[in-house]
Structure 1
C-alpha cells in the first residue's frame, strides 16, 4: 500500500474494523480511484455528488447487484470521512445518499429559478439575525455560494456601486464577480445599516467579516444549520444546501451554457459543470430510483 492507504488503514484500524474488512474497503477505494482517473476527474478530493451518481451508473453497467453497490458506497463513505478528517475535503459526496439496499426512493427535487425566487421571497427577516440569514439565503439561491465562501466574505468583497459581490478563489474553486439581484441589494443595504451593527454590538466583536455569528466564534455552521431547518419547515421539498446549489447551477447551464455557468459556479474544470446538465441529471434519476437516494 502507498502512504495514503497506510494512513487510511490506520484510520480504519482505529474504528476497530477487522483486517479482512479493512482490506476489502481499501480494495474498493483503489478501484474507485482508478475509475476517477479514467473519468479524467482531476483529483479524488474533487469528486462531487453527481460524480458518485455517475459511478453508481457505471457499476450497474458492470452488472453489479444493487446490494453490492450499496456496500461499495458504504466503503467509500469511510474513505471520504477520513479525507474530511485529514482536511482534504469539506463535504462528503456520499453522505447525502442513504444506502438502504433495494428500497426504492426518489432523487431529490431540483428547483426551478421561479421556485428558488419564491423560497427567498417567503423568508421573513425578523430581528438582526433574520436580516443576516436572509442575505445568506440570497447568496445561495442566486449566486450558489458554498458555506466556506459565505464565511470568508468581508466588507471589501462587496462591490456595491457595480451591484456585485467578489468571491475569492481557493485550491478547488476559481474567484469570480457575481451580479446581485435588485432585492438582494435592498436586503444587503438594510443588513449593513442595521442588522450587522446590532450583531457587532451584541457580541462585542470587531471584524470586517460580512456575516457576524451570534456566538463567540466566527464560523457560521450553526447559523446555516438553523436557517436550513427553517427552510425545511416552510418548504417540504427543501432537503439540504447541496440541493439548492445544484438547482442554481443546473438552471445556469440551461440559460447561460456551460462556459458561463462554469465561471459563475467557480469550477476550475468544465467537466465539473457538465455534471449539472439537465439531461445528465435526468439520466441518472432512473438508476438512483432503483434503490437509494437523498434524504
Structure 2
C-alpha cells in the first residue's frame, strides 16, 4: 500500500493528500541528502531536520505544517510493519501565538439582538431563524448551507448539524422560541428538496443565497448594536459563553471542533480576560 492510499483510508480529502505529499517531499529529499532511512531514523536526527528548516528561515507555523505529514508517514510505516514506533509523535514547534477571538459580544447583548430583531426591523422569518441558530447553537454559515428540514426535530426540540472535513457532527438543543418559529416557517413552506433556509425556492439552491441573507442580516443588526461585525464574531461570543457553563470537552462537542485545541483558544474566564490577553500579545508591546 502506498502512503497516498493510507491517507485515503484515513478519510483525508484529495486536497489534503496533495498538500501532505508536497510537504513530505521536503522530508524525503532531506533523508536522501543525509543518506538516512525512514525506517531507522531517530528522534535526535529528526531534530536535525527541524534545525535545517529553521536555518532556511521557515516559520514555526510552516515547520509544524511539514511535521504533520511526517507524523502520518511514520504511522504509515508502523502500519506496514516497517517500524515499531513513531519518532515524530508529539514533535511540535512551540511558541506559536494563536490568533485570539476579539470584539466579542456578551450573551445578554446576543439575546437582546434576537429578541429585538423581528420586533424593530422588517425582516422575514428565515432571517430570524438564522439569527437564532447563530446565537443559541453557534453554527457557521457553511453549516446553514447544509441544513435541511429533516435535520430539525421539533418534538424533541433538537437540531442535527452535519459534519464536514473541518467539523464534527452534533446534536444541539433548540430554545422554545426557536421551536415555535421553525414550526411556523416549516408549515408555511415545502422543503422536501433543497436547503431549509434557501430564500428563493424557485431557483436552484445556491450557497451564495444564504451568504447574501447573512450579509443583509448583519447590516440590519448594526442598526440595533453598532458593535456587530459578522457571523464569526457571534460564534466566538457563543463559544466563550459556553465555556463559562460547561467543561472543555462538552464545548468541543457543541462547537463541532475536531480538535480540543480549537476550543481551548476561547477558554478565558470572561471578555475582560480576553481583552487583556490581546493587549499582552499586541505587536507594539
Whether the TM-score (by the shorter chain) exceeds 0.5 is yes
Equivalent of 1:33, from 62, 65, 81? 62
CA deviations on 1:153-190 (whole Å, 9 max, x unpaired) are 11110111110000111111111100000111111112
Alpha-carbon deviation of 1:147? 0.7
Which of the numbers 178, 183, 197 marks the counterpart of 1:184? 178
Comparing 157-166 and 111-120, the one that deviates more: 111-120
Quick one: distance in 1 between partners of 2:176 and 2:206? Answer: 28
Q: Does 1:141 align with 2:135?
A: yes
Q: Contact between 1:275 and 1:281, CA under 8 Å: does it hold in 2? A: no
Higher helix share: 1
1:224 to 197, 214, 219: 214
Alpha-carbon deviation of 1:31? Answer: 4.0
1:119 match: 113
CA deviations on 1:200-242 (whole Å, 9 max, x unpaired) are 8xxxxx7242112238342211111111111123211111111
Deviation at 1:112, TM superposition (A): 2.2
Contact (CA 8 Å) 2:138, 2:238: kept in 1 or not? yes
Tell me what 1:286 maps to. 279
Change (3 A) 1:234 1:286: same
Name the CA shift for 1:211/1:288 in 2 (closer, same or farther; >3 Å).
same
Q: 2:102, 2:274 within 8 Å by CA — same for their partners in 1?
A: no
Task: Quote the Cα distance in structure 2 between the aligned partners of 1:28 and 1:188.
Answer: 54
Root-mean-square deviation (CA, aligned residues, Å) is 3.4
Number of aligned residues: 203
Q: Which has the higher contact order (CA 8 A, sep 6+)?
A: 1
Task: Name the counterpart of 1:14.
Answer: none
Q: 2:234 aligns with which of 244, 253, 257?
A: 244
State the SS of the aligned residue for 1:165: strand
Task: Return the alpha-carbon distance in structure 2 between the equivalents of residues 252 and 36 of structure 1.
Answer: 30
Structure 1 residues 28 and 263 mapped into 2: Cα distance closer, same or farther (>3 Å)? farther
Alignment check: 8 A CA contact 2:126 2:199 kept: no
Larger Cα-atom Rg: 2
Tell me the TM-score normalized by structure 2: 0.61
Query: What pairs with 1:2-17 in structure 2 (closer than 5 Å)?
Result: 4=22
Deviation at 1:134, TM superposition (A): 0.3
Contact conserved, 1:158 with 1:164, CA < 8 A, in 2?
A: yes
Cα 1:37/1:181, change in 2 over 3 Å: farther
Deviation at 1:137, TM superposition (A): 0.5
Quote the residue 2:160 is aligned against: 166
TM-score for the superposition, normalised by structure 1: 0.59
Change (3 A) 1:28 1:188: farther
Query: What are the superposed Cα offsets for residues 96-117 of structure 1, whole Å, 9 maximum, x if unpaired?
Result: x9xxxxxxxxx84322222211
CA distance in 1, matches of 2:156, 2:236: 26
Per-residue CA deviation, residues 233-282 of structure 1 (Å, 9 max, x unaligned), is: 32111111111100000111111110110110011111111111125734
Structure 1: segments with no counterpart, 5+ residues: 6-26, 44-53, 58-92, 98-106, 201-205
